[in-house]
Structure 1
Amino acid sequence: MTEAPEKPRISRHLTQTRLTTRATMALERLWPLVLPLLVTLSLFASLSWFGLFRMMPDWARFGVLAAFAAAAIGSLILLRRYRAPTAAEIDRRIEAANALVHTPLRAQTDKPTGRQDGFADALWREHQRRMAARLDGVGSDLPRTGVPQRDPWGFRAAAALLLVTAFAFSFGPRGGSVDDAFRAVAFAETIPPRIDAWVTPPAYTGRAPIFLSAANNAETPVFTVPENSDVTLRVTGGSGAEALFFADAAGTQREIKPSGTETGGEAAAPAPAAVPSVAGASAARQFTGKLTADGVLSLQSDGRELDNWAFAVTPDKPPVIRFSGEPRRAVNGAFELHYEVEDDYGAASAKADFALEEAPAPDARPLYNAPEMPLTVPRRGSPDVAQKATRDLTEHVWAGSRIKLALSAADDAGQEAKTETKTIVLPERPFTNPLAGAVVELRKIFSLDANQKQHVLDLIDAVTLRPEDTFDNPSHYLGLMAGRTSLKLAQTDEALREVADYFWNMALQIEDGDLSNAEKRLRQAQEALKQALRDGASDEEIDRLMKELRQAMNEFLREFAERAARDPNMAMQQPQPGQELSQRDLERMMDQIENLAKSGNRQQAEELLSQLQDMMNNLQAGRQQQQGESGQQSEMREQMNKLGEIMRRQQEMMNETFRMDQQQRGQERGEQFGEEQGEQGDQRGQQQGQGMTPEEFADAMRQLQQGQGQLQGDLESLMKGLEGMGIQPGQGFGEAGEAMGQAEGALGQSDGGRAVGEQGRALEALRRGAQDMMQQMQQAMEGDQGGGQEGGRQQNADRDPLGRPRATTGPDFGNSVKVPDEIDVQRARQILDAIRKRLGNALSPELERSYLERLLKLQ
C-alpha cells in the first residue's frame, strides 16, 4: 500500500533526468561539429569590424571571401556526422553517471524470458522494486565535448578575444562593418612619394639651409656646401622600398639607412624617428647623413632612380694664427700682443701658451702654474683679422722672467693651429720704492719654489734687523712682520699662496697707496664689460656692468686726482688746457658704449670700449709731451678746433632735422587716418598732431635754415683762414659748402627729407676735407721741425695723456672707431624690433625662425 504513490514520483524524476541527459549528450556531440563554423564566422566578423576588407583591393577581397566560404561549407558538411542519442544510450549514460551497478534503470523496462509463472513474476517484480529503490536521487552529468583534447593550444579563445576587440574597434572612426566584404571599394594605388630634401650647414658657418627639392633648385647641377653639412631626406608615401645611396668621386657607393635602423658608414648618422602618416598611406621615412666629400646623392626605388643631387663639398680649412708684431709691454705695464687670426668660418677660440725658458729644478715645488691668457678672435664675417690683446700679468710670479710664448687657435670643427715660439721677458711692474721691490722679490722666491721658505724668512730677518734705518713708515714694518709670521705658519700650498697674495698687496700699498686698488677694479670692470659684449649679454646685464664701470671710473679718477695733489712731480706733468679730457667727455663716451650695445652694434661698442681702455692706459702711464708750440702751430690748432666745431654743429643739425621730419610725417599720417575714420578718427588725429602745429613747424624749419646758412658762412671763413696760412682747402670743403647751400634751400621749402640727405653729404665731404687738411698741416710741421723722434715716442708725440689725437694734429674725425650717428642707431633699433616681432610669430616656418635667430646672434 505504501509503494503505490512512490512509482509516479520516481517515474517523473526519471523522465526529467532522461531529458536532461538527452540534451547533454546532444550538446556534446553537436558542439565539436558547430565550433569550426563559429570560429570561421568570428574571424570573418573580426576582419570586417577591423576595416580590413575596406583596405583590400578587389582581387584580395574576393580571395579572402572565397576562403571563408570554403571554410563555412566544410564546417556545414561536418554537421552530417551528428547522431541523436538513443534511449538505451541515455540509460547507460545515467547509470554510468550515477555509478549504478546491475543496470537498475534497464531493469525497469526489461522482461524475463522463458516460461512465466506466478512465482517468477512475483520474483521479477520484487527485483524491479529493489532496483527502483536505487533510482531515488539519480541525476545527469555535465557535457563532455572533447574540444580541449582537439584544441590543446586554445586557439578558440584567441578567436573569441579577437572578436570582442574587433567589435569595440568597429565603433571608432576607422572601424568597419560586415557589409564591407560584399561592397566594392575603390582601392587607391600606391601613393606617389613626396620627397623633401634639404642640407643644413654647420651652425658655425653662418650659412642658410638649402632646400634641395625646391622648384628653384631643380635646375641646379651642383650644390656647393660646407664640409660636415647635414643632409636630410624625407619620403612620404611611396611603396616603402625607397633607398638612399651616396656615391663619392671615386665611384664608391654606400647606402644611407633610414632612421630607426642600424647605420653603416660615416654618411649615415642617427636621426629622429620617422613620423607616421595618415591612415592608408605609407609612413614617412627619413634619411640623415653628413657630407664630408664630393659626391652624388641618389634616391632609388625598386631599381629605378627617383631623384639625385650632386654636391661639391668645401673643405673646412684649419685656422691660421700669427704674430703681427713683437710682444711688448703696454704703457700701463700690461702684456700686449698683436696678432692675426684667419679662418674660413671664423675661429672659435685662441689663447697664449707660456712656459719658462729655464726649467725649474727637479725637486722644486712651484706654487703657481703658467699664466692663462685667452685671446679675442675676429667676429665671423669681419674682414679685419688683426687683433690686439692686453692682460696685466705683472701680478704673476713669472713676471720679469724669460719665457717661451706661442699662440694657438681652434675653430668650431676642432682644428687647431699654432705660431712659432718666441722667447721674451714677461713684463713686470716697476717699483720705485726699494722696500716694495724687495717685498715683491721675496714673494717671487718662495712662489717659484716653496722649498725656499726658510731662505725667505732669513732674508726678512735681515731686512728688519734695523727697522729704524730701513722703514720710513712704521706700518710698513708691522705689515712685513705680519707677513713673516704668516709665512712661517703656512704649511700647505694654499696657505703659501695666500701669503704670496698678501705680499703683493703689501707691495702695492707701499708703492701706490689706494690708487692700485682703484686701478685694479677699473681694469676688472672693463674686462667684464668687454666679455659681456662678446657673449651677447642681455640689456639688463649691460646696464649692471655699465654701472660698475662708471663707479670704478669715478673712484679711479678721484684717487688719481688726490694722488696728483699730494705729489708735486705728478702735478707738474698735468696736460695743457687744450689737451685735457673732462669728466663729461668720459661720461659721454660711456653713454655711447651703452647705446651702441643696446641697439645691437656690439662690435662698435667693443671697439669704442677698447679705445677707452687705451686712453685710461695712457693716463695711468702718465704719457704726455711738454713740447712748446710755435705760433704757426697754435694757429693750426685753432683752425682745426674750428673745423671740429663745424662738424659737430652739422651733425647736431642733421639729427634735429631728421627728428622734426619724422615727427611731421607721423602727424600727417595721423591726420589722414582721422579723415578716413570720421569724427572719431578726427579727434584721434588731432590728438596725434598736438606735438607741433604747421605754423610752429615752419618756424622751426626757418630757424634751422638760418643756422645752416650761418654754418656755411663759418665754413667759408675757415677756408679763407687756411688759405692765409698757406694751406689750400681741399675739394671736400667745396662740396661741403655746396651741400650746405642745398640743405639750406630744402629747409626753406620745409622739405626735411631732402635736407637730411644734403646735410649727410655735407658731413661726409667735411670729413674728406679734414683728412686733406691734416695731411697738409702734418707736412708743414715736419718741415718746420725737421722730423720727429724715433721709436715709440714719435708715435706718441701726437697724442694727449689719454691717447686722443692732440690739438696740433686735429680732432678725431672718426677714423679710429666708426661710431654710428643717431639716425643709424634709430634705424638699427627699428630693424631689430621687426626681427623680434617676426620671430615671435608662432606661425612662422621653422627655417625662417632659425634664420632670424642666427641674425640676432650676429650682434
Structure 2
Amino acid sequence: MATFTPNEQRRALARLRWPLRLTRAGMVAEILLRRFWPLISIVLLGLAALMLGLQDIAPVELVWGAAAALVVAGLGALLRGVWGLRFPIAADAMTRLDQSLPGRPIQAMLDDAAIGTQDDAAMALWRAHKARMAARTEAAKAVPADLRIASRDPYALRYAALLAFVVALVFGSFLRVASVADMAPGGGDLAGGPVWEGWAEPPRYTGKPTLYLNDLAEGALELPEGTLITLRFYGELGALQLAETVSGRLAEEEAEGDAPAQAAQDFTVLQDGEIAIDGPGGRRWQVALRPDTAPEVEVIGDPQVTALGEMRLPFAAQDDYGVEAGEARIILDLAAVDRRYGLAANPDPRPEVIVPLPTPISGNRAQFEENLIDNFSKHPWANLPIKLTLNVLDAAEQTGQTVPRDMILPGRRFFAPAAAAVIEMRRDLLWSKSNGPRIAQVLRAVSYRPDDVFRTEVSALRLRRVVRQLEVHASYGLSDEVQSEIAEDLWGLALELEEGVLADALDRMRRAQDRLNEAMKNGASDEEIAELMDELRRATEDYLQQLQRQQAQEQEEGGPEGQQQQQSEGMQMTQDDLQAMMDRIQELMEEGRMAEAAEALKELQELMENMRVTEGQQGQQGQTPGEQAMEGLADTLREQQGLSDKAFRDLQEQYNPGAQAGESDGNEGRNGGQGRGQSHEGQGGRGQGEEQQQGQNGEGGEEGAPREGDGSGERSLAERQQALRDELRRQQGRLPGGGTEEGEAAREALDRAGRAMDQAEEALRDGDLAEAIDNQAQAMEALRESMRSLGEAMAQNEQNQQPGQGATESDRRADNRDPLGREQAGNGANSSDGPLAQGPDGADRARRLLDEIRRRSGETERPELERDYLNRLLERF
C-alpha cells in the first residue's frame, strides 16, 4: 500500500508554487480591473482629447470646464476603487486552484486525520488517500483570470474610451498634449517658447499620402501641384513667421490689436519655391513642383462598321493621375455635304451629338485603350460627312481633345431598292421639314405598282398611310412630333422591306445579347446570368426559325438553282455546337472571367448574324430500314398525340357544355385544326399536303394505317385507337436492330406502348376519358423511349461499318438536317418527333404544356373532376 510522508507533501506543495502565483496574479488583475475600469476609461478619454488637439480649437472656458469635470470624475473613480480594496492572499489563490481540480485534492492533501490515529490500518489507508490526492495535484494549472466586466459596464463605455484613444494614436500626436500648458497663466513661458505644426495634403486624386511637416527634415521637398499646406502657430503672435514663394499670393498685412492668440496659414502649392518658418524651432524647405499635365486622347484606327451599322472606333487616352471621363462630339460638316435632291434645302437646326466615351470600370485609368461603340443608323446625319472630336477630362478639370476628324458617320446600309428609297426619304424628312411635299410625291411614285415593290400588302398599306400623313400635315407645316413619328414609321417600313419577318426575331436576339453584355459589366449574380442566358437561348431559337422560314420561301421563289446556291454557300453547325458555345459563355461569366465571356459572346453574335440556314433535300428515296421504321414510329407518335388531344378536349367539353365545338379555352392541337375555334371533328390534325407526303414516304403511307384527314374523324375514338394499335403491331414486326441490346430495348418499349394502347381503347369504349388519357400518355412515353433506343441502335450500326461504307446514308441524313442538327419534316419545318426531338425545342414545348396545365389546375371555376385529372398529370410528369 502506498505511503505519504511529510517530505512528499512538501514536494507536492512546491510543485504548486507557480500555478498558485499565477492564479493569485490573475485574481489581483480581476480586482483592479473591476474596481478601476472607470478611472482607466476617464484617463484614456482625456488623453484622446488632448492628442487630437481639441483644446486648440475649443474655447478656453469649455476646455477648463471639461478638464475640471474629468478631474472630478477621475477622483471619484479613484476613491470608489480604493474604498474597501482587499488583495487576495495565498489561501484565496489555493482555494481557487483547488476548486479547479476534481475532488479538491490540495485541501485533502493538507488535511489531518481526526480519529483513528492509533489504528495502523486506518492510518495506512489515510496516507494512501493523501498520496492519491497528491498525484492529482500534478495536473494543476493556473486558473485564468476572469476579466469580463460586461455586467458592471452594460453600456460598453470602456470600449468607447478605448476607441477614442486608438483614433488619437492614428490621427493625433503626443506633441499636442503639451499645448494645454499654454492655457495656464504663464504657461507659454513654462513651455519653453512658441511651437508650430504643419501638414502637406496632396489632392486626393493623386493617391499620395498627407505629410506631417514636423517629421520632415530641412532640404528638398517634391510636392504635386495643388498640394494644400496647412500651418498652425502656437504661442505669442509674431514669435514665428512664415515666408513662402510657392503659392504666388501677395503678402497680407495682419490686423493690429485683434489678432488671435494662435494663427493658421493655408495656401496651395502652384509653383516651385521655398517654404520657411522663421523663429525658434523653425525650418526651411526647397519645394520642387510636380506638375499635373493635361490628359491626352487620340484615335488609333479607322472606324469599323458592321453590316447593321454599328460603329467601333478605337481610341487611346492617358493622364498622369488618370482620366476621369470623356465624350465624343459630332457636328455636321455642312460644307462637305452633296447638296442635291432632298439635301438642297437648308437643314433644320440640330444640336451636336455628344456620346460619352467608355472608360475602364476597374484598374488604372492612367493609360488605356477602349472602343467607342454606338449605332447612329437612325440619326439624321447617318452616312453624311461629319467632324468627330474626342474630349477627355481629368480630376483637376483639365481637358484634352483630338483634332477634328473628317469622316462619314457610319450607318446601316439598305440593299433592297425599295428599302433604300424609303430610307433616303426618311433622311430628307429629318434634314428639313420643307421636304415633306416632295417626299410624298416620291413615295407615291415608288408605290405606284405595289405588287412589283412590296412582298406583302401590309407593307404597301403602311407606306400609303405614311404618304397620307405627309400630305395632310405638309400643307400647314410639320411639327416635331409628327416628323419624329413619320420618321419612325419609315424606319420600321425599311426594316420590313429589307429583312422581312426576320426583323423582330433579330431585334429580340440583339436585345438579349445587349442585356447579357450589361450584366457582364455590372457584375450580375449567378441567378441573373442564368436567366439572361435562357432569354438568349429562346431568342436565338426564334431567330433561327424565322431565318429558316424566310429562306424556305426564297428557295421556293428562286427554284432549284437558288436552293443549290444556298446549300453551297451556307454554313452548318449542330445544336450541340451552339449549346456548347452558350454554356461556355455562362461558365466564363460565373467564374468571373468577363473579358473572355464578352469575346465569346461577340463570336456568337457574329456567327448568328452571318449564318444562312441550309435546307435538306426533300426526297427520301433509298431510305434504310432503320430510317423507315423511325419515320413510321414518328407518324404513330404524332397520331397518338392527336388522339390524346381530342380525348382531352372532349373531356373538357363534358364539364363545359356551354362552349361550342372547338371553342374551349386553349383549343389548339392536331385533331380539329391548327388554330383556335375550329371543329374537333371532321378533319384531322394535319393538312392535305402533309397527308400526301405521308403517302409517299415509307411506312407512313401503307394501307391499314389510320390517317387523320381521310374521313377517320367520323369514327369513334376507340375505333381509331384500335386501328393505331394494329398499325403499331405491324411496325413492331418489321422493326430492325434484332440481336442488339438497343434493338431489344426498342421492342420492349413498343410492347409497353401496345399494352397502354389496349388499355386506352378499353377505357374509351367504357367512356372513361380520364383513364384513357393517362394510358395514352404512357403509350406516347413508351414510343419516345423506343425511338431513342432505335436511334442508338442505328448510330451503333453506323460506327461499326468499315470506312467507305454508309457514306450515302450519312450524306442523306445530313442533307435532311438543319444547321442545328435537327431532322426536318417533309414540308421543310423542323420535326418534333425525330431522333433529336428531345432537344431544346421539345423541352420548350414540354415546359409550355406544363405551364398551361398548372394554370388550368389553379382555376377554381373548372369542374372538380377535371382539376383532379390535371393534378394527376402534374404528379406524373
TM range (shorter): 0.3 to 0.5
TM-score scaled by structure 2?
0.41
TM-score scaled by structure 1?
0.41
